[in-house]
Amino acid sequence: MKLKNIQSIFYIIIIYAMSFTATAQKDYKLWLQYESKTDREIITKYLNTIQGIEILGSSETLKVALAELELGLENMLGKKITHPTDNEQNNLIVIGNKSSLPLTLQENLKSEFEKVSKDGFIIKTITSKGKKNIVITGKNDVAVLYGVFNFLRLIQTNKSIENLNIIDSPKIDVRILNHWDNLDGTIERGYAGFSLWNWHKLPDFIDQRYIDYARANASIGINGTVLNNVNANALILTPQYLEKVQALATAFRPYGLKVYLTARFSAPIEIGGLKTADPLNADVINWWKNKAAEIYARIPNFGGFLVKANSEGQPGPQNYNRNHVDGANMLADAVAPFGGIVMWRAFVYSEHDADDRAKQAYSEFVPYDGKFRDNVIVQVKNGAIDFQPREPFHPLFGAMPKTNTMMEFQITQEYLGFSTHLVYLPKLYQEVLESDTYRKSKGATVAKVIDGSLYNNKITGIAGVANIGNDLNWTGHPFAQANWYGFGRLAWNPYLDSEIIADEWLKSTFSNDENFVKPVKEMMLQSREAVVNYMTPLGLHHIMDTGHHYGPGPWVGNLSRPEWNPTYYHKADTKGIGFDRSKTGSNATAQYAPEVAKLFDDVTTCPEKDLLWFHHLSWDYKLKNGQSLWDGIALKYQEGVDEVASMNATWNKMTNYIDKERFKEVQMLLNIQNKEAKWWRDACLLYFQQFSGKELPKGVEKPTQSLEYFKSLKFPFAPGN
Ligand code: GCV
């Protein structure tokens, strides 16, 4: 080959590598792009207000806050903002916690400090003796860091920083990610690569990614992370692994991110050499006490344990004829002296219980109300089955007034198209948080249960099952980053509107151009309803293929545990379709407060979005719009497909607003989603049609394959299984 040719190949490779790096960097930077502003007028305005940064203190957290401010401001405004000289006292950003502020400032901010909670921040423009400075403060350094991120977000989203007066406190104490990461690096229900934690290289090798992870979490107020899977491995509690956990905890600490671990209930046997794990046995009690002391000696700010017990084969107190209270309280007593907590999951259902799976957690846990220790918090999934595209809120919310109750949302899209479907989950979260439990009185929303305002709880919490892996873009789909972001924002304030969150995220991640933000935001907001429509419309649920949950599998009915079969959930037969959970059926409706129970129980008042969750109805049942149930189902599936097509069309118009690489990535993923939405529609309609015996209504496209073809599809290596 001629030298010239070799050279051109070399250049092509370099250019390709450079563009790849640029994409990777953009994808990797999440919502912290700090894109440089191009509008001179805007830049001048900001620069007039910010001429220097003054830092009051020297903690690791404040150093991180300062570095963030410097990075963000320099990148966005194109000018290095340095520390002030002695005679520059105007137009500064002053960062420091309450006790570091000069007394005059403390006095000046007295009423703000009275209003702000422990982790909340104050951002205030203060004019004194003709000088104008912006003070970012709080009661501790992590609060200051949160304030800094919020301040930078104002600039990222082109908001004014004139005369600021912001006081913002988190409404929930424990804002935590749950990683279902295994020690071998795989992630249960993970669709973004392998685990971030490189256990083999820890504790000596601290990957920069650990720090970037903590920083991203701090930027949205997440303050805790459970490192390992709830289907737990006891080895994490051995000294060999605790040393590694300690290294992670140390790396995360400046960012206010506490580490928690899952506790395998049988650990005293598996790694402790005991014969039993009975929670009332003195040796077992001591073993856990010593284990807690050992962990806290290494990690003084260790958060505590998360436990999945007697659920899906995990060991628990019931193995010893004890109950959830015995198990949770024993662990709670072990961590209590160190300020730790126990998050005890209520995700329980048993193959030995013939009752409707949706009822089992409530039946089991409500009798325990008032019996758990103050440092136990019962972690409840948002719905009574399992993270479906749509579920009515879990009846346990509000039903245990004397028990700390926290929310568990799933951010990873186990049942919502993995990381190939664009589904903006804050819409789902908001729907759940706004649901009225009617406990105590009208207006007792799920948000009020979990932020503790309804029952004045001792600890409050919200968990999100993480969608993060070692993919370059962290979450597999660029838009799945919005779900991590949105979870964090709602954990901080469960009353935030998902539309506002989408707006912030788009502007911080892509662009402030309204020609981009407006249509793409609409696309995001529409995406959740789209997935409900093309997967499980009108209250259908859990009809995904078995095991991996990828794609449709409404025909699956041969699994050993009845409640693992899609046929258990849709109950389609020639008479109709749906799970009768009303009085005439399993009576799950009775687990809600009377007002809600009545609403769901009566088919005429039950919201149509939840219809087949609560009722088994004939194919000819008339929907509110006059369509028969069969036609309505078929048209909803078609609507879902059409919505994805319109998402594609919207995105295709965005080519000029963002970088080529991320544009292309999303475009390819939307094309996959388009194909898969059609797959869902065709497979489900062909299957249900066998029972309805009816033609597809006008407007629904004819399937291109047979039911047999869809049934024959197998995915032995679907990820996350
Ligand atoms: C971690 C569902 C998932 C399991 C998960 C379980 C849980 O059943 O399919 O992978 O296990 O929920 O939340 O414990």
What average pLDDT does the segment 298-312 reach? 98
pLDDT at 15 over 60: no
Pocket of ligand 1 (CB under 6 A): 180, 188-189, 230-231, 308, 312, 347, 386, 414
Q: Give residue-wise pLDDT tens across range 678-687.
A: 999 999 999 9
Residues 460-469 have pLDDT tens digits of 999 999 999 9
Mutate-to-test residue for ligand 1 from 181, 189, 350, 550, highest number of ligand atoms within 8 A of CB: 189
Residue 3 pLDDT greater than 80, yes or no? no
What is the share, in percent, of the chain residues with pLDDT greater than 90?
94
Q: Please write the tens of the pLDDT for every residue from 613-649.
A: 999 999 999 999 999 999 999 999 999 999 999 999 9
What does the pLDDT read at residue 661?
Answer: 95
Nearest CA to ligand 1 atom 2: 386
CATH for 533-579+616-712, among 3.40.50.300, 2.60.40.10, 3.30.360.10, 3.90.1330.10?
3.90.1330.10
Residue 16 has pLDDT above 60, yes or no: no
Confidence at residue 128, expressed as pLDDT on a 0 to 100 scale: 83
Q: Which of 312, 345, 382 to mutate to test the pocket of ligand 1 (most atoms within 8 A of CB)?
A: 312
Residue 433 predicted with pLDDT over 60:
yes
* Residues 688/690/694/695 CA torsion (nearest 10 deg): 80
Interval between CA 315 and ligand 1 midpoint (Å): 15
Q: What is the pLDDT of residue 130?
A: 82
| Mean pLDDT score, 180-190 | 98
- Angle made by CA atoms 623, 628, 630, in degrees to the nearest 5: 115
Token pair, residue 589, equals 């409706």
Rounded to whole angstroms, how far apart are CA atoms 571 and 577? 6
Tell me which fold the domain 31-168 belongs to: Chitobiase; domain 2 (3.30.379)
- The CATH number corresponding to 174-496 among 3.20.20.70, 3.40.50.300, 3.40.630.30, 3.20.20.80 equals 3.20.20.80
Residues 6+ apart with CB under 8 A from 651: 520, 523, 663, 666, 667, 670
Mean pLDDT over 314-331 rounds to 98
pLDDT of 4 over the 60 cut = no
408 C-alpha vs ligand 1 centroid, how far in Å? 12
What is the DSSP pairing of strand 131-138 with strand 121-128? antiparallel
Q: What is the pTM of this model?
A: 0.96
- Active-site residue set: 312, 386, 414
Ligand 1 geometric centre to CA of 230 (Å) = 8
**What does the pLDDT read at residue 84?**
75
Contact (CB, 8 A) for 663 and 24: no
Q: Establish whether domains 31-168 and 174-496 are of one fold.
A: no
E-only strand ranges, 263-355: 304-307, 341-345
For residues 600 and 623, give the distance between their C-alpha atoms in angstroms, rounded to a whole number. Answer: 15
Distance CA 501, CA 487 (A): 10
Mean residue pLDDT of the chain comes to 96
What is the domain partition of the chain in residue ranges? 31-168, 174-496, 533-579+616-712
Counting ligand 1 atoms within 8 A of each CB, the residue from 262, 351, 386 with the most, and so the one to mutate, is 386
**Banded model confidence at residue 59, pLDDT cuts 50, 70, 90:** very high
For residue 113, the model assigns a pLDDT of 98
Average pLDDT of the segment spanning 251-279: 98
Do 718 and 676 contact (CB within 8 A), yes or no? no
pLDDT for 82 equals 82
Q: Is the peptide bond before 102 cis (omega within 30 degrees of 0)?
A: no
**410 CA closest ligand 1 atom index:** 13
Instruction: Give pLDDT, residue 129.
Output: 81
Q: What is the DSSP string of 395-438?
A: TTTTT-TTS-EEEEEE-S-TTTTTTTS---THHHHHHHHT-B--
How many helices (DSSP H) and strands (DSSP E) are in the chain? Answer: 23, 15
Report the separation in Å between the CA atom of 541 and the middle of ligand 1, taken as the mean of its atom positions.
16
